[in-house]
């Protein structure tokens, strides 16, 4: 079926407009939905150092004869305030005595994979540990025996072993042989095949999904997690670097945020800390964009603020972070970066001051942070909040005030229904071209409403985001960065939906929204080209949206078209300013028959790009956009 009259779309290839920055399409990482511990950070043992509020959460004692062993939780807080707790296990010869760890909603174990076990120990006499990976029925699916020699000091012992069966809900069992007393801490298990095979590294499949997007930047570590429920619970980057055993665990603020999605075992071990975030950014070719606490706790929670006279330590954290990322190795923080294995700088160029703050308190803190950072590092570009909404009183106040103060980059957030995204494809067409740049820092179309558990990452949402993103691209002179949020969610441990990428302990998949993001990021182009229908940009006429750019390195024109209607739409695409189009155009089509269609773990690529080609005639392409389709067309010139 074809529409009767083909509409003419014109792309003016000889009129490149705004440059599209390499940072245009990026990713937003927050440790929400078990994105770090239990997700990207490949550690399989939950509560490995017994620092959760309940020190034995995640651990189960197994005793075949009553009284044949016991556990004492000790606290050496004065001696080791960052890792105060350890356990003392006393075990006797009769029967079986051991401990098991349940992992993060189980442990994802793969047949043939090697697992690296490590433990901090201080045995009074030799102790043999029988290590077993077990399936949910308690049957072994991989085992090893580790002898711990006596020691009066803490030492680290390790052993590696291979799993015989794939199991998504395995557990780790540690059996104690014979009689003895042993102090234990930092009990850890990692797969060998982490991202880049780094010991203690990241889950390779999840990083691969990010790398495949070729993101221009990665924002970390959030999100409200930066702010904390209160200031004590805020994210402090200095506590996330150095040796993992010295990174002080705290509760994850999403642990208690939503009563209906309570996650009592959600903490932050910081095994994935600021060094690892910078390294991840470098690995995937993304500019790092750290967001720091500006002396304000989450305003949806306590809204605690640090008084301005006491704010220096917060500002010092920001200055020291720039030294950590970029400083010479002879400096304190540059030296720590080098000691952690990265003497070369991480080339930090921008930083966020505060997450989703609002009100005059934010402006006060914005001023002192900006003054201090710009005085020392004038080239660092600062990202500033415009609050949680894209309009309304909070937004208007910060938008007006920060523009008058000549802020570098304003961070706008929009969690709205698909209709809002369609209506706002023109949002930036009338923004001040000489004001601050825009970072569309958090957005996602909500199929139901914000924080509803019924939100689905369906095709209707993804299609609306694609339409909206054509408006971001058309305005690339002021919109310089954009990222969907949140990024990750564990299917058994989430608090917030929708999310870009879902995973269980073994598998992962990108949603339809992921493929929209990926298509934009992989077809970014270098400068905007005018794309018009009857002389006007294509911003929803007959349900069609579009943008175009040139990719000067590839010598290609890239056209993005979104048909949000249930009708096919015939288009004649005329390319002005080219001599002729020499070969068929390549096209990538993303579509689904139903607007409520979704990808799932079992059908992970139901909605994913399909490659095709479009014949050209002279300077023209004739294309029919199928119903509910996002198309990216690349034309060699
Ligand atoms: O993305 C989830 C949350 O939404 C972020 O933590 C916060 O910045 C926003 O309110």
- Which has the closest alpha carbon to 429: 483, 471, 482, 386? 471
**What distance in Å separates the CA atoms of residue 328 and residue 345, rounded to the nearest whole number?**
8
Which one, of 272, 252, 273, lies nearest residue 264 by Cα?
Answer: 252
Nearest-atom number in ligand 1 for the CA of 225 is 6
pTM check: above 0.75: yes
User: In 140-199, which ranges are E strands?
Assistant: 140-148, 155-162, 167-177, 180-191
Q: What is the rounded distance in angstroms from the CA atom of residue 233 to the CA atom of residue 422?
A: 38
Strand pairing report for 536-537 and 531-533: antiparallel
CA atoms within 13 A on the CB side of 234: 26
Other Cβ atoms less than 10 A from the Cβ of 94: the count is 12
* Cβ of residue 493 lying under 6 Å from some atom of ligand 1: no
CB-side neighbour CA atoms (13 Å) of 565: 13
So what's the pLDDT on residue 583?
Answer: 79
Q: Pick the residue whose CA is nearest to atom 5 on ligand 1.
A: 223
Could you say which DSSP state residue 222 is in?
-
Q: Is 513 in the pocket of ligand 1 (CB under 6 A)?
A: no
Ligand 1 pocket, mutate which of 486, 488, 489 (most atoms under 8 A from CB) = 486
Ligand 1 binding pocket mutation candidate from 29, 32, 253, 488 (most atoms within 8 A of CB): 32
Alpha-carbon distance of 362 to 541, in angstroms, equals: 40
634: nearest Cα among 577, 597, 580, 581: 581
CB 583 within 8 A of CB 550: no
Q: Which atom of ligand 1 is nearest to the CA of 223?
A: 6
Distance CA 294, CA 310 (A): 12
Please identify which residue in the block is written with the tokens 């000790």.
74
CA distance 321 to 348: 9
User: What is the pLDDT, as a whole number, of residue 5?
Assistant: 83
In the reported structure, the alpha carbon of residue 626 is separated from the centroid of ligand 1 by a whole-number distance in angstroms of 35
The torsion angles phi and psi of 299, rounded to 5 degrees, stand at -80, -10
What is the predicted pLDDT for the residue at 156? Answer: 98
C-alpha to C-alpha distance for 390 and 358, rounded to whole angstroms: 12
**Rounded distance, CA 301 to CA 197, Å?**
40
Cα dihedral 619/622/625/630 (nearest 10): -20
| Ligand 1 atom closest to the CA of 486, numbered from 1 | 1
Is the CB of 388 within 6 Å of ligand 1? yes
Report residues of the chain scoring pLDDT below 50.
Answer: 1-3
Residue nearest to atom 8 of ligand 1 (CA): 223
DSSP string spanning 384-413? EE--SSSSSHHHHHHHHHHHHTT-SEEEEE
Query: Ligand 1 centroid to 233 CA: how many Å?
Result: 16
Question: How far is ligand 1, taken at its centre, from the CA of residue 32, in Å?
Answer: 9
Ligand 1 centroid – CA 440 distance (Å)? 13
Ligand 1 contact, 496 CB (< 6 A): yes
Ligand 1 in contact with 131 (CB < 6 A)? no
The β-bridge partners of 409 are 383, 437
pLDDT of residue 1: 45
Measured from the Cα of 496, ligand 1's closest atom is: 2
Burial (CB count within 10 angstroms: exposed 0-12, middle 13-18, buried 19+), residue 344: exposed
CA–CA distance, 185 with 269 (Å, rounded to integer) = 14
Best residue for ligand 1 mutational test, from 233, 352, 355, 446 (most atoms within 8 Å of Cβ): 355
Judge if the beta carbon of residue 387 lies within 6 A of ligand 1. Answer: no
The atom number, within ligand 1, closest to the CA of 485 reads 1
Length of the chain: 637
- Residue 223 Cβ inside 6 Å of ligand 1? The answer reads yes
Q: Give the pLDDT score at 140.
A: 98
Distance 222 CA to ligand 1 centre (A): 7
Residue ID of nearest Cα to ligand 1 atom 3: 223
| 3-state secondary structure (DSSP) of residue 27 | strand
First to last CA, the chain: 31
User: Could you tell me the strand order of the sheet in which 610-614 lies?
Assistant: 527-529, 544-551, 556-563, 629-636, 585-591, 610-614
Which of 28, 31, 219, 223 has most ligand 1 atoms within 8 Å of its beta carbon, as the pocket-test mutant? Answer: 223
With a 6 Å cutoff on the Cβ, whether 499 touches ligand 1 is no
pLDDT at 438: 98
Measured between alpha carbons, how far is 474 from 387 in angstroms, rounded to an integer? 24
Q: Taking Cα atoms as reference points, which of 449, 497, 444 lies closest to residue 469?
A: 444
Protein residue with its CA nearest to atom 7 in ligand 1 = 223
| DSSP secondary structure string for all residues of 339-378 | HTT--S-----EEEESSS--SHHHHHHHHHHHHHHHHH-T
Name the residues annotated as catalytic.
356
Is the minimum distance from the CB of 355 to ligand 1 under 6 angstroms? Answer: yes
Radius of gyration of the chain (CA): 27
Instruction: Enter the DSSP assignment of 16.
Output: -
Q: Say how far residue 40 (Cα) sits from the centre of its chain.
A: 9
């Amino acid at each position: 079926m074809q529409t009767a009259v083909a509409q003419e779309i014109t792309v003016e290839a000889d009129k490149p407009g705004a440059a599209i920055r390499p940072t245009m399409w990026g990713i937003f990482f927050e440790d929400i939905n078990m994105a770090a511990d239990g997700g990207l950070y490949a550690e399989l043992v939950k509560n490995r150092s017994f620092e959760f509020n309940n020190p034995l959460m995640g651990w189960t004692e197994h005793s075949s004869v009553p009284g044949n062993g016991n556990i004492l939780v000790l606290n050496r807080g004065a001696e080791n305030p960052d890792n105060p707790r350890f356990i003392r296990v006393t075990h006797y010869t009769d029967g079986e005595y051991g401990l098991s760890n349940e992992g993060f909603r189980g442990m994802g174990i793969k047949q043939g994979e090697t697992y690296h076990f490590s433990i901090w120990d201080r045995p009074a006499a030799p102790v043999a540990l029988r290590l077993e990976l077990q399936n949910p029925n308690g049957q072994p699916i991989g085992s090893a025996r580790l002898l711990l020699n006596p020691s009066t000091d803490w030492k680290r012992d390790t052993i590696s072993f291979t799993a015989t069966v794939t199991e998504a809900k395995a557990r780790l069992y540690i059996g104690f042989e014979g009689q003895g007393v042993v102090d234990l801490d930092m009990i850890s298990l990692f797969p060998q095949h982490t991202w880049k095979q780094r010991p203690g590294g990241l889950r390779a499949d999840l990083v691969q999904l990010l790398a495949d997007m070729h993101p221009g930047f990665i924002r970390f570590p959030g999100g409200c997690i930066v702010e904390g429920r209160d200031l004590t619970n805020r994210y402090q980057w200095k506590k996330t670097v150095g040796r993992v055993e010295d990174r002080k665990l705290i509760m994850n603020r999403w642990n208690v945020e939503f009563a209906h999605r309570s996650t009592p075992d959600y903490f932050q071990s910081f095994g994935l800390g600021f060094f690892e975030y910078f390294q991840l950014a470098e690995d995937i070719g993304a500019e790092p964009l750290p967001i720091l606490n500006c002396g304000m706790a989450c305003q949806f929670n306590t809204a605690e603020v640090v008084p301005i006279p006491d704010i220096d330590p917060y500002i010092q954290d920001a200055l020291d972070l720039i030294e950590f990322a970029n400083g010479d190795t002879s400096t304190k923080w540059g030296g720590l970066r080098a000691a952690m294995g990265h003497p070369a700088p991480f080339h930090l160029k921008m930083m966020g001051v505060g997450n989703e703050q609002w009100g005059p308190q934010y402006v006060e803190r914005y001023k002192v942070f900006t003054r201090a950072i710009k005085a020392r590092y004038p080239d660092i570009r600062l990202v500033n909040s415009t609050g949680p909404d894209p309009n309304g009183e909070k937004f208007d106040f910060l938008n007006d005030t920060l523009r008058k103060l000549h802020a570098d980059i304003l961070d706008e957030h929009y969690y709205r229904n698909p209709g809002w995204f369609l209506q706002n494809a023109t949002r930036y067409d009338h923004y001040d071209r000489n004001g601050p740049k825009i970072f569309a820092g958090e957005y996602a179309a909500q199929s139901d409403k914000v924080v509803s558990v019924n939100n689905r990452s369906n095709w209707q949402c993804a299609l609306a985001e694609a339409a909206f993103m054509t408006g971001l691209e058309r305005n690339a002179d002021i919109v310089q960065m954009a990222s969907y949020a949140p990024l990750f969610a564990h299917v058994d441990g989430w608090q917030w939906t929708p999310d870009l990428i879902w995973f269980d302990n073994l598998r992962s998949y990108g949603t339809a929204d992921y493929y929209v993001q990926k298509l934009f990021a992989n077809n970014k182009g270098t400068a905007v080209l005018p794309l018009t229908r009857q002389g006007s940009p294509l911003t929803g006429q007959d349900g069609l949206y579009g943008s175009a750019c040139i990719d000067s390195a590839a010598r290609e024109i890239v056209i993005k078209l979104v048909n949000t209607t249930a009708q096919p739409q015939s288009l004649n695409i005329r390319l002005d300013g080219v001599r002729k189009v020499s070969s068929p155009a390549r096209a990538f089509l993303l579509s689904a028959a139903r607007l409520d269609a979704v990808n799932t773990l079992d059908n992970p690529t139901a909605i994913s790009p399909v490659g095709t080609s479009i014949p050209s005639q002279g300077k023209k392409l004739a294309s029919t956009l199928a119903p509910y389709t996002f198309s990216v067309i690349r034309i060699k010139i």
